[in-house]
Amino acid sequence: MKARPLALVCAALMLGSLFLPWMSGPFGGMVPWDAIKELQADRIGDMLGDLPPEGMAFVASFVLAAVMVLLGLMGSAPRILALLTGGIPVGLVGWGIFQAMQSGGTSGLPVSGDDIAQVLQELSQLIGIGAWAWLGGGFVLLVMGLFFPSRT
């Protein structure tokens, strides 16, 4: 990919989001790395095996971002890897919005597009920089994988 430095920065941003707060609130922020380092090594395999497909995709996004960073540092940035690494965060957020519209909110009624916009606006006040870094890095990688040509 011709924009390898940008791909490297976006993948590093996704990977770095593990160490940034994903939720901010009156009682502090939720940082994924704090939860990960508390896990016992022998329980990680069991936990990963019990994850739903969305959880596995979430974990895979960080693994692919790490691979993208390593390959980027070695001078390579495969287009297909940028598509996969960027497509997972965008796809998971889209899937979450779709599920919310299908299943309904707390009232059990289907959620309309206007309700989703209002919920997203309210959530944007709670969502921390880590979630924005993960999604933003993924979005830019997806766009790069779709539209930037490979090296010739």
The pLDDT of residue 71 is 92
pLDDT tens over the chain, length 152 residues: 677 889 999 999 999 999 988 887 766 678 888 877 777 666 777 777 778 888 889 989 999 999 999 998 998 888 899 999 999 999 999 888 788 777 765 555 556 666 667 776 777 778 888 899 999 999 999 999 998 876 64
Tokens 């766009």 belong to 143
Structural domain boundaries of the chain? 4-147
- CA–CA dist 34, 128 (Å, integer): 15
What does the buried/exposed string (b/e) look like for 74-93 if buried means 16 or more CB atoms within 10 Å of the residue's CB?
A: eeebbbebbbbbbbbbbebb
The DSSP letter of residue 110 is P
